[in-house]
Amino acid sequence: MNYVIFAILAYIIGSIPSALIVGKLGYKMDIREHGSGNLGATNTFRVLGIKAGAIVMLADILKGTFATLLPAITVFNADVYPLVIGLFAVLGHTYPLFAKFKGGKAVATSGGIILGVSPLLFIVMVVTFILTLYLSKYVSLSSMVTGIVSIIASVLLKDIGLIIVVSVLTIFVFYRHSDNIKRIKNKTEPKITWM
């Protein structure tokens, strides 16, 4: 029963459409009608700029972290595995209840889940993402490379639960970036210009 309650709460938390809220409140713009139409940090950076993108990225990360920590910070003595609860926040972010089930690509919220249970692995992810982004200028490629490195790091940490969840998240990130993979192969994927 605890799993059901926390899974629903995590999904609702993940469903909060940060990019939509920032776009409408701060810029009087529905970001779904611009750029890729995606409700994620990357499209926010592209359409609204660095400040808005940074706010959305932080909010999306914290959604995952808060959902993962939810069982530990509530008054209930919940005997649940936090990473499993965090997965539902990713589902909420990707298929948000409050935005017609069309959300982001799960990268920032996935990172937030890891931050909630393994800050060291989160740091590895951030460093990997920034380094790959600097070298390639592709946000999508950086996200996928970060997933692969995260799996390797999880194996080194010898945490079977972490290995499984990180692997599931990485597969999901690859799935969500299937169109980006095609564009990278065709050399039509847009590159960032600010790094």
In a domain, 193, yes or no: no
46-to-2, 41, 163 alpha-carbon distances in Å: 40, 9, 32
**pLDDT values of the chain reduced to their tens digit, one per residue, 195 residues:** 688 989 999 999 999 999 999 999 999 999 999 988 899 999 999 999 999 999 999 999 999 999 999 988 876 656 788 999 999 999 999 999 999 999 999 999 999 999 999 999 999 999 999 999 999 999 999 999 999 999 999 999 999 999 999 999 999 999 999 999 999 999 999 998 877
Structural domain boundaries, residue 19: 2-185
Can you say whether residue 29 is alpha, beta or left, with left for phi > 0 and alpha for psi between -120 and 50 degrees? beta
In a domain, 157, yes or no: yes
In a domain, 60, yes or no: yes
In a domain, 191, yes or no: no
Tens-place pLDDT, residues 18-34: 999 999 999 999 999 99
In a domain, 74, yes or no: yes
In a domain, 192, yes or no: no
In a domain, 195, yes or no: no
pTM: 0.92
Rounded to whole angstroms, the Cα distance separating 194 from 117 reads 31
In a domain, 8, yes or no: yes
Report the number of distinct structural domains present in the chain.
1
